[in-house]
Amino acid sequence: YLHGGAYMMGSPKTHRRMVSHIIRRAGMRALLPDYRLAPENPFPAALEDSTTIYRALVEAGTDPATMAIGGDSAGGNLAMATLLALRDAGDPLPATCFLLSPWLDLAAQGESCESRAEHDPWFKPKDMPEIVKKYCSEFDLKNPLVSPVYADATGLPPTLIQVGDHEILLSDSTRLADNIEKAGGDVTLQVWPEMWHVFQFFIGQMPESKKAIKGIAAYLQKQFGAQAVAQKPQEDRAA
């Protein structure tokens, strides 16, 4: 699981609690990499870290068919970019992918950047230019590994996308879902009414967050079938 934080913040510690709720319900284990962050380590440092870690797991004997990759916001971008980089290099891909409010278009061409600007309390269009400058100022913002919404979506694994309909990145999710469908892939898009950016993070505080987390776990159990044996989560307690 690749944590969010605008490519410049966040860590395994900030996201451990939310991810623990997912894996307890799904009956899985999780690895949260402490990948390099901008501005000290701009693109493609984080992508190099994520692909290296995935390959190390496979080389150590982990079957890709038993693996999922996921992430939120910038981590959702990184998860999708990792899949694209692995696919293009001919690596075996994980069985499935799940994305929470992924930030997939750093060029900010989605209509929701304007139409949802007054609704999303968590992420604002005015915040984007400085973040993008620090993360990837020397690269084309429509490079598929920078902005995966511009990628050829052929050959991607089954993907779950959860997004709030009040967030400025709504269009990023809907456009990716369209791309995967047009490429003949398997995608499940869940648009949550009146929810904002990465609302799942508020597990233990909002019923919508709890329901969304349950939905992610159910999706993973469906993808892996009998391999996953859910554990009863300790409700509303820090992991």
Contacts of 219 (CB under 8 A, 6+ apart): 96, 98, 160, 188
State yes or no: is 15 an active-site residue.
Answer: no
For residue 93, which of 6, 223, 182 has the smallest C-alpha distance? Answer: 223
User: How far is CA 149 from its chain centroid?
Assistant: 13
Vertex 221: Cα angle to 200 and 206 (nearest 5): 20
Catalytic residue, chosen from 3, 15, 166, 197, is 197
For residue 99, which of 36, 29, 169, 202 has the smallest C-alpha distance? Answer: 169
State yes or no: is 73 an active-site residue.
Answer: yes
Sheet arrangement for strand 96-100: 68-72, 96-100, 159-164, 187-192
Classify residue 91 as left (phi > 0), alpha (psi -120 to 50) or beta. beta
Catalytic residue, chosen from 73, 101, 173, 209, is 73
Q: Torsion angle, CA of 72/75/79/85, rounded to 10 degrees?
A: 160
Catalytic residue, chosen from 147, 167, 171, 209, is 167
**Between the CA of residue 60 and those of 28, 57, 63, 144, 227, what are the distances in Å?**
18, 5, 9, 29, 20
State yes or no: is 197 an active-site residue.
Answer: yes
Catalytic residues: 73, 167, 197
